Structure 1
């Protein structure tokens, strides 16, 4: 019996016409069969390893994809508007790639090619860095050999850039001042009218009759003196301000200004002369500069520009302690230079730089508003520095200030401690249109009703919020709507008793007691109280595991 149970089946194998009989033990001990078994086992192990690797890779790829999608769902999505970056190298690389990078650089950021003829505006409070940007642009202009006109209120740039061999200075209180000649500068009646428009600015609130009359008298008197062999600034000042009204009336006889000094309206004439005195008295500082050498005119100096050579600079400067007295004359010279650009002829390849830091410290320059939009055709590059846009509105008026600001296409905004000015700067920097993500958590009596949903709402926001108010941060106070918002947030975050912030039941007794209380309510009351919706905007967290946004 033992042999029967131990007997093994016999297998018949036909091999090339022969019949071979083997039992199971003989087959298992056969070397060829063992080799085949080893091959099968090796293939199985290899397949298992490959399958495990594929599964792991698939798991991580799937987790990453789902996590990435979850992250996108929980992040704000930019759909339009501008974008702000703090990486100038990336912008520089993009400009060089597109062939738009200029050789003018501010730090590591190159300007857009030929954008200098679209004018600059530097906006920021005192000591914010406007002068540093101006110096970098000046260094480029000096290296290239461009013609430059600088309004230097405190002689800061004169000390750094003045070259006596090629440059000129216009400052009545500087011994190096050029011998500027009013009557060689102004050849026609309209030239004298343009000079008087800047020398005697039109106020924004006063009756324009008084300034207009003063302009007329100055322009006519200066025009009549052009043929006087003994003409001088001293004689012009005496004629306008010192001689008796009868002699002035006689001097202006048969001119358009004669009616303004008529004997019948002598009191009016005296009032006009009083207004004239406030501005024309600045001309007395020009007395004696005609002895400083060869006569000089801004118009002829600008016409002498060399297209292929090194050009000189013109510094229109004043001293800080005497600026208020010289303001009419400084404004007049800068206005002449602005208008002189048109006399040079159109040339987009030429560069004539006009730097006017702290422009609002001068009188209103009517020529600036008119000429600035056309200056690019003549190669004009205006760099204007202001402390705030409100200064432009105060001097030029609302509409002219908007026109002037609109043609200053390259703008740099620096620190502005004032809230209103900072908001203006933020608005000018631009806005972006975003889909703002928000998560909604819903909790109910039945756990099936608990859930999380993500939604996005369209919003338009400024790229910066009070971007340049760093100096005012220490003075910022609390209050206002902040306590109210905090209270509302706390009320919204009240969860049912026994429920943690993560949605887990941590106190079953409290939770069951709350459920029993809900059962006693009417269906309407239960519906109102059983769900708590909390709108939360969650910023992306760092160091999350793959799939952490799901």
Structure 2
């Protein structure tokens, strides 16, 4: 039986009992039947006589013999005074309403008996779904907001607490499962409130559709509207240079070569930091990293002694192999020098933006699928330096600051060693991180098993969209948790024309949400995206988020000139400017012929 039937039967029972009592009070106390005398006059019966007759009538109706005898005497007197019909009408009205009340009460009792849950959760998380789940979610959010104040809303009209914002978000879901739609709810709310917003744009739709006051701040070397990354402002100390080197020269299967090449790169950047301060750019860096071996040794001697021993014997096979590794990875520097060669373009510092984000103008770091390796390196480098800036004491703790980092498909970037800084120190400094990933296996593949576990623990709110049936779904189902339940089972047997029902109770432990349910009940629906939300108390909330349709406000991508010019004509030549030669050529310069000879020595 449904909940509605329980409510109706209970109300009916109370109403019928009230009507029965009312019929008695009105019919026998306020307006009792009268006795009609022989001369036609009427005289009321005494209340005691009516009450005695009423009692006898009731006992006779129930089959009591003495009551039946008494009622026969009353019946003769009532008939004699022509009051029997009026008495019977009053009696049966009171009895009928009383019987209906008992019938309704019996129905209510049966509803409670047979509508008792066959499955009762004893311990563990509970899945709250449907309208009841939304109501429970709203109540839990309201309780937090009363303590910490209201923040932005994930579900319309249901604000999260401001403290929950800084506890970070992890959104997991397969391709097409609704991750981006879920993230758009948070992005739109943050922009409207005027928070600092950084968005990792993997498809161009964010640049094309996000609202902004004017134009968004775009950093994308493949787009002609891009700001020029002011690398000198963000890479100002040697430790920053090491972070940049780790991004441009990732760790190889034989780390000896990559780590040695990183030290040379650090020496080049340290040279610019020491001699040019913050007045250098990508063209200057390109000129330095394409210098000759003798100058590399001079950079190391003056600015990075760790690299001196690597360059001590210029003609050795080891040194030549290290230089080959270094030269191979410096092609990205040359590409960025070409892309960001316009001296009149506006410059952008991620450190300066962190301290003073521009309200209502989201910062978009756009990934270009046509140049995946280029995008991985420069975006990973910028986020790595941003993590260092978050950990710096120069960024003070603040309850008022709110800077959002929306990192969709974040595990596709190279590993950022300092990324846990965002999660550990960002909370107290007003940094809110929203990570989007396909599953935990994707995070483990890039950051390792331990990091995947710690990320799941350090993010206060987990949102799960559709996860296709796979080992990843099993993994996430396990992370959601288990519950201990008490299950009731009923069985009926028929013997001798009678049916008996027996009931048994047993306990079991089961998953709150199974792997198959992650694939079948979540993701896009007719009216929105159905997701699971964890972290708000012990419950697991199933919510449906309405669709958000981004209007086309601007072109998603406007290719820069260097992306479609011939190799014989660089962007510098297009702009009418020759490539600056920061360093004089040398006889031992790392030329193409020398690089070919180096490769021969490694075969």
| Fold conserved between structures, TM > 0.5 | yes
Moved over 6 A (4+): none
Partner of 2:273: 226
CA-CA distance at 1:142 after TM superposition? 1.8
Partner of 2:451: 400
The question of 1:159 aligning with 2:208 is answered yes
SS of corresponding position for 1:172: coil
Question: In the alignment, which of 97, 106, 110 is matched to residue 154 of structure 2?
Answer: 106
- The Cα RMSD (Å) is 3.4
Cα gap change, 1:186 to 1:243, in 2 (>3 Å): closer
Matches within 5 A, 1:257-336: 257-263=307-313, 266-288=316-338, 289=340, 291-305=343-357, 310=359, 312-336=361-385
Partner of 1:78: 121
Q: How far apart, CA to CA, are the structure 1 residues paired with 2:299 and 2:258?
A: 20
Cα gap change, 1:138 to 1:55, in 2 (>3 Å): same
Cα gap change, 1:163 to 1:226, in 2 (>3 Å): same
Which entry has the higher C-alpha Rg, 1 or 2?
Answer: 1
Q: How far apart, CA to CA, are the structure 2 residues paired with 1:472 and 1:261?
A: 58
Cα gap change, 1:239 to 1:97, in 2 (>3 Å): closer
Q: How far apart, CA to CA, are the structure 1 residues paired with 2:396 and 2:448?
A: 30
User: Structure 1 unaligned runs (5+)?
Assistant: 1-31, 474-550
Partner of 2:301: 253
CA-CA distance at 1:138 after TM superposition? 1.9
Query: How many residues end up aligned between the 2 structures?
Result: 434
Q: How far apart, CA to CA, are the structure 1 residues paired with 2:89 and 2:319?
A: 114
Cα gap change, 1:231 to 1:89, in 2 (>3 Å): closer
CA-CA distance at 1:437 after TM superposition? 1.4
Q: How far apart, CA to CA, are the structure 2 residues paired with 1:110 and 1:151?
A: 26
Task: Answer whether contact 1:316 1:333 (CA < 8 A) is retained.
Answer: no
Task: Answer whether contact 1:173 1:285 (CA < 8 A) is retained.
Answer: no
Partner of 2:441: 390
Q: How far apart, CA to CA, are the structure 2 residues paired with 1:97 and 1:322?
A: 46
Partner of 2:225: 176
Partner of 2:474: 423
Partner of 2:22: none
The question of 1:53 aligning with 2:97 is answered yes
CA-CA distance at 1:396 after TM superposition? 0.5
Map Cα deviations across residues 259-304 of structure 1 (whole Å, 9 max, x no partner): 1223189323333334434543222222152514354321123223
CA-CA distance at 1:50 after TM superposition? 2.3
Q: How far apart, CA to CA, are the structure 2 residues paired with 1:36 and 1:96?
A: 74
Given the two structures, how large is their TM-score scaled by the length of structure 1?
A: 0.70
Task: Answer whether contact 2:268 2:296 (CA < 8 A) is retained.
Answer: no
Map Cα deviations across residues 311-354 of structure 1 (whole Å, 9 max, x no partner): 54322213221122331111101222233334432112221011
Matches within 5 A, 1:424-463: 424-441=475-492, 451-463=500-512
Q: Which moved more, 1:256-265 or 1:405-414?
A: 256-265
Partner of 2:260: 213
Given the two structures, how large is their TM-score scaled by the length of structure 2?
A: 0.64
